[in-house]
Amino acid sequence: MNTGSNMRIGPFEVFYPIEESAPRLRHNVEGIDGSGKSTQLSLLHKWLESKGYGVVFSQWNSSELVKDTTKLGKKKKMLTPATFSLIHATDFADRIERSILPLLKAGAVVLCDRYIYTAFARDVARGMDRQWVRDLYGFAAKPAVAFYFRVPLETAIGRLVTGRDGFKFYEAGLDIGLSDDPTESFRLFQGRIVDEYEKMIPEFGLTVVDATLPVEVQQAQVRQIVRTHLERAKELRVRP
C-alpha cells in the first residue's frame, strides 16, 4: 500500500483518503506543549465534518495495547529514555496497523495529534541518538501535511502555568536531570525539543504556523492548506 506525500503543522498531522494507487492523505500537528496545536486540530476536525468528510482523530500515546503499561511506568518513574522511546514506538505501531491505515483505506480523513516528529524531538531531547530514533520509526507512513506550530518558549510556559498546579515529572524532563526545579527543568527540556523541531523543518518539510497569531488567523491558514490537499486528492481519484 502506497502512503505517499504529507503535510505538517506543529504537533498534528492530517491524512487524506485517495485511491490505492495514489499517496494517502492525512494531516498531523506538531509543536511544544502550550503551542495551541490541539486547539487548532479540534477546530479543523469540526470544520471538515461540517463539509461532509468522514474524519477520524488519533492521539499520541493512546493505544490500548500499552496505555496501562505507560501509565504504570510513569507513576513509578521507571521509564528510561530508551524504554520511553520504545514504548511510544510500540504505541504508534499499534495505532498505525489497527487504526490509521485501515481507516485511510476506508476513505477517512485522519487527523493526528502528534506523529513521528514528536518522537524525533522528545527522544533526542532525552539523549537518544537522532538517527536511531528515525530508523525506529522507518515503517511510518508519510503524512499529507505536517503542521508545526511555532511559539516562543516563554509564551508557551505562560499559557501552561495559568490554571495549573506545576508540571508532571516526565513532562518537565525531570528524569534526565537538567534541573531539580520543575519549572526550570521544563524550560530547559522544552528548549531542547524546540531545537529539534527547528532542525526538522528543512529535513521533513514541516509547514510552519505562527502560533502567536490569533486563533482564527491560524485556523484560516490551516484550512486553506488542507482544502488544497483535499482538492488534489479528488483530482487524483477522478483522473483516468
Question: In this predicted model, what pLDDT tens digit does every residue of 95-150 receive, in sequence order?
Answer: 988 888 888 888 889 999 999 999 999 999 999 999 999 999 998 878 889 999 99
Classified by CATH at the fold level, domain 12-227 comes out as Rossmann fold (3.40.50)
Residue 49 has pLDDT above 70, yes or no: yes
Torsion of CA 42, 86, 145, 194, to 10 degrees: 80
Listed residue (167, 89, 83, 157) closest to 127, CA to CA:
83
Gap between the Cα atoms of 14 and 104, Å rounded: 11
